[in-house]
Amino acid sequence: MALRRPPGSGKRRSTDSGVEPDRGALSREKKEQRVALFLSDFDQQAKENIQEMKKELDSLLQTAEKAFTVELLKMPVAIRKMKRKDLL
């Protein structure tokens, strides 16, 4: 059987972390400036990502259009000139 310590014989833990609450704290203005800077940087990165995605989308659309044109050219002229409604 394990030995138990009598109550009160162990080390007591303090609820105080030992760190002063004002230590390293920034003023409210500096915090607001940092948040504003972070948000503006985030917005800029988001805009750049959106622009990059738009370029990729345009590239994919061009590729699809070229593939469609090639497939159309493989078909006989009579089918190519036919209306899609009639073809289906």
pLDDT of residue 24: 56
DSSP string, 20-55: -TTTTPPPHHHHHHHHHHHHHHHHHHHHHHHHHHHH
The two structure tokens encoding residue 16? 């105080």
Indicate the helix (H) or strand (E) that contains 62: helix 28-74
Give the pLDDT confidence of 2-52 residue by residue, as tens digits: 566 666 555 666 555 555 555 556 688 999 999 999 999 999 999 999 999
Largest CA distance in the chain: 99
Identify residue 80 by its one-letter amino acid code.
R
Which pTM value belongs to this model? 0.52
